[in-house]
Amino acid sequence: MTSIENVERLSFGEKAVGLTFNPSGDDRVARIKRLYAEIIDFCNDERSMSKEELQHGSEQARLYSIAITSAQEAQMWCVKAITWRD
């Protein structure tokens, strides 16, 4: 299987955190990316519900979008902390 096929099989959250990018091969980086991918997938699934199913319509979807962006940012800072070298 080519790397392009692997990327196509990734979930939204896995793509959002860059799960396949870990040049150092650090297990802690892989773990934190998996954890944040799960959070992002949850938010994306909730956001993807039809507007009729959402209690508060597009505002709720907007809030899930903000949560996804914030989770991506938090994940990047955590990876930065894990890989920090003095």
Q: What is the pLDDT of residues 64-85, one digit of tens each?
A: 999 999 999 999 999 999 999 9
**pTM, two decimal places:** 0.83
CB count within 10 Å of CB 32 equals 19
Mean pLDDT over each residue of the chain, to the nearest integer: 89
Alpha-carbon span 65 to 45, nearest angstrom: 11
**Could you say which DSSP state residue 35 is in?**
H
Q: How far apart are CA 18 and CA 15, in angstroms?
A: 5
**pLDDT band for position 1 (cuts 50, 70, 90):** very low
Cβ atoms of 12 and 42 within 8 Å: the answer is no
Angle between helices 57-83 and 27-47 (to 10 degrees): 180
